[in-house]
A and B are shown apart, each in its own frame.
Chain A
Amino acid sequence: MRTWVRGLGGKEALASVLVLLFGACALANGAPIPHGTLELVAENPWVAAGRQFNLGLHFQLEKGWHIYWVNPGDSGEPPRVEWRLPGGITVAAIEWPTPQRFQSSTIVDYGYEDEVLLIAPLNVDAHLGQQASIQVGAAVKLLVCSHEMCVPGKAELSLTLPMRPDSHAPDARNGDIFAATRKSLPRRMPANWRLGVSQTSDSFVVTADLGHPIAGRTIRRAIFYPLVESQIENAAPQNLISQASGFQLTLRKSDQLVNLPERLKGVLVVSFGSSQPDQAYSVDAPIKHAAPLSPGDVKKRGPALGIRQNGQSLPIQSLKEEPQI
């Protein structure tokens, strides 16, 4: 340490120490993880028996470092959480905010940088009303990466919350980040939108009909984030075509796609123009078959998909008829 400080000029050394100090302050309150901190936070200052409450895993990362979405993309792995909960408390699936793309060379990953809150809703049994407080905890394993390297980390977190019979009041300190995070969760598509997914031999084609002409409200950008690994080629360009009342987005099938999925699931982020914020929508749509030659051919024709091995095409599982949207 001494050599390092001596190696720098006086001002630089002071500046470095200040950066270290303020960097540490900015990341206070959480358990240390590689290149950041992780804190278990509650949306409300107490919990009530028989009601739902929300916990959050609040990740704060140094500049240039990221963690991963539930589908990490071409590399990496999502944080894995083991909840430590007393009897009578159950946890639902984590609500994953819309991720970002991290591209380096031909590799595309999905994740979060700077700061992210992963919200988990919990249910409290009505019979727990007798207790004065509850202790909840989480053991988290995660991978933190920059474009240059990856570092594994883990953290044991716990939180004691008082039980009160009455309903929630928002916590002054944490209420805001829960509210802000909810804005970045993908939402349901507007009721008048119609989304269809068809396929060609090498692509999925997502067609969105917004139910009205979109003249003057051009779709500037649309990006699909696949919820399931190995369905689309993450690094392939997603080709957007504007149509009179919507748009079409072509997604290249993954080279690792062996069994054709029945549904396309993920998040579709649409940008309507510079003055409006991007909108993120949840997608869960059946994938249509290739059009049959004649009605009688439906059962005989399989989709043109399969991976070749030694020049032979491998069989793939047959598909059930799916209703079309």
Chain B
Amino acid sequence: MKPSNLYSMLVALALYAASTLVWAAKVGEPAPDFTGSASSGQTIHLSDYRGKYIVLEWHNNGCPFVGKQYNSGNMQRLEKQWISRGVVWLTMESSAPGKQGYVTASQENDYLAKVQASPTAALLDPTGAIGHLYDAKTSPHMFVINPQGILIYDGAIDDKPTTDVNDVPGATNYVSLALEHAMAGKPVPTPVTRPYGCSVKYVDSTH
């Protein structure tokens, strides 16, 4: 291998590492903007919602950890509760074609109707571009953005990392905790937690 090739490979590697590890969304910093296609057919820009609290929910309809939240009706309740208080709720679909949780727009709309979920929008991200921008690792993986556009929560849905529906009632919900505190002008007590769930089923990368 010629030294120049090696050099450009190293540069590419460094850039890749930087893009995935250093520039991913960080609590306390501005949430990265993105543009995405919703299952409704709309094009959504995150910046359209500046001035509102925004919840990003990484989703995969086949993942048992997601099933725990939806079969118990917990995620639908949370959506309704917070949307009624002016929060924007975006359900994110980053599964690659052929993998668990991949949906077309009409499949997603059917799913939302079936489980009676009503997010502000469900975004289709089959390339994983938005997922990688936020370094979304699991389904579910939850993010909360404040009206100034600052990321104020990054992590798990709650403090019970299991697939057991019986664990929902006694759990501390970190998304509600973040929103309640932030809306009351208080600091978020647990701004970063370890997300738990299935790995996000991204497009295979070649490295």
B99–A233 CB distance below 8 A: no
> CA of A255 to CA of B22 in the docked complex: distance in angstroms?
10
Listed stretches B1-9, B32-40, B113-121, B189-197; interface member:
B189-197
Q: Which residues of B97-131 are within 8 A (CB) of A?
A: 98-101, 128
Q: Would you give the shortest CB distance from A33 to chain B, in whole angstroms?
A: 13
B99–A148 CB distance below 8 A: yes
B191–A307 CB distance below 8 A: yes
Give the nearest-CB partner of B13 in chain A.
A237
CB of B187 within 8 Å of the partner chain: yes
Q: Would you give the shortest CB distance from B197 to chain A, in whole angstroms?
A: 6
Listed stretches B45-53, B72-80, B84-92, B159-167; interface member:
B159-167
Q: Would you give the shortest CB distance from A307 to chain B, in whole angstroms?
A: 6
Listed stretches A71-79, A123-131, A208-216, A217-225; interface member:
A71-79
Please indicate the chain A residues that have their CB under 8 angstroms from the CB of B59 in the complex: none
> CA of A143 to CA of B63 in the docked complex: distance in angstroms?
10
> CA of A130 to CA of B114 in the docked complex: distance in angstroms?
59
B20–A106 CB distance below 8 A: yes
B163–A148 CB distance below 8 A: no
A106/B64 contact (C-beta < 8 A), A236-B21, A258-B192 known: no
A77–B162 CB distance below 8 A: yes
Please indicate the chain B residues that have their CB under 8 angstroms from the CB of A141 in the complex: 162-164
B198–A145 CB distance below 8 A: yes
A310–B150 CB distance below 8 A: yes
> CA of A226 to CA of B20 in the docked complex: distance in angstroms?
21
Contact of B204 among A76, A77, A105, A309 (CB under 8 A): A105
A107/B137 contact (C-beta < 8 A), A141-B164, A148-B100, A149-B100 known: yes
Please indicate the chain B residues that have their CB under 8 angstroms from the CB of A256 in the complex: 155, 192-194
CB of A109 within 8 Å of the partner chain: yes
Please indicate the chain B residues that have their CB under 8 angstroms from the CB of A255 in the complex: 26, 154, 192
Convert B163-207 into 0s and 1s, putting 1 for each residue whose CB lies closer than 8 angstroms to a CB of A: 110000000000000000000000110011111111111111100
Contact of A307 among B27, B128, B196 (CB under 8 A): B27
B194–A148 CB distance below 8 A: no
A152–B193 CB distance below 8 A: no
> CA of A52 to CA of B27 in the docked complex: distance in angstroms?
50
> CA of A147 to CA of B161 in the docked complex: distance in angstroms?
20
Contact of B100 among A74, A75, A150, A152 (CB under 8 A): A150
Convert A103-146 into 0s and 1s, putting 1 for each residue whose CB lies closer than 8 angstroms to a CB of B: 01111010000000000000000000000000000000101010
Interface of B is mostly: loop
Q: Would you give the shortest CB distance from A312 to chain B, in whole angstroms?
A: 8
B163–A105 CB distance below 8 A: no
> CA of A233 to CA of B100 in the docked complex: distance in angstroms?
25
Please indicate the chain A residues that have their CB under 8 angstroms from the CB of B201 in the complex: 147-149
CB of B17 within 8 Å of the partner chain: yes
B194–A230 CB distance below 8 A: yes
> CA of A77 to CA of B138 in the docked complex: distance in angstroms?
12
Q: Would you give the shortest CB distance from A296 to chain B, in whole angstroms?
A: 32
> CA of A308 to CA of B29 in the docked complex: distance in angstroms?
8
A77–B194 CB distance below 8 A: no
Q: Would you give the shortest CB distance from B187 to chain A, in whole angstroms?
A: 6
CB of A26 within 8 Å of the partner chain: no
B17–A237 CB distance below 8 A: yes
A309–B191 CB distance below 8 A: yes
Please indicate the chain A residues that have their CB under 8 angstroms from the CB of B26 in the complex: 255, 308
Q: Would you give the shortest CB distance from A100 to chain B, in whole angstroms?
A: 15
Contact of B188 among A76, A80, A309 (CB under 8 A): A309
Instruction: Using CB atoms and an 8 Å cutoff, list the residues of chain B in contact with chain A.
Output: 17, 20-21, 26-29, 62-65, 98-101, 128, 132, 135, 137-138, 150, 152, 154-155, 161-164, 187-188, 191-205
Other CB < 8 Å A-B pairs besides A107-B200, A141-B164, A309-B187, 12 of them? A106-B132, A106-B137, A107-B199, A107-B202, A148-B98, A149-B99, A149-B198, A150-B198, A255-B26, A308-B26, A310-B187, A311-B28
Listed from nearest, the 8 A-B pairs whose CB atoms lie closest are A149-B100, A308-B28, A75-B199, A105-B202, A152-B64, A150-B198, A107-B199, A230-B194
Q: 29 A-B Cβ contacts within 8 A?
A: A74-B138, A75-B197, A75-B199, A76-B198, A77-B161, A77-B163, A77-B196, A105-B128, A105-B202, A105-B203, A105-B204, A105-B205, A141-B162, A143-B64, A145-B199, A148-B100, A149-B62, A229-B194, A230-B194, A233-B21, A235-B21, A255-B26, A256-B194, A307-B28, A308-B27, A310-B28, A310-B150, A310-B187, A312-B28
Instruction: Using CB atoms and an 8 Å cutoff, list the residues of chain A in contact with chain B.
Output: 74-77, 80, 104-107, 109, 141, 143, 145, 147-152, 229-230, 233, 235-237, 252, 255-256, 258, 307-312, 314
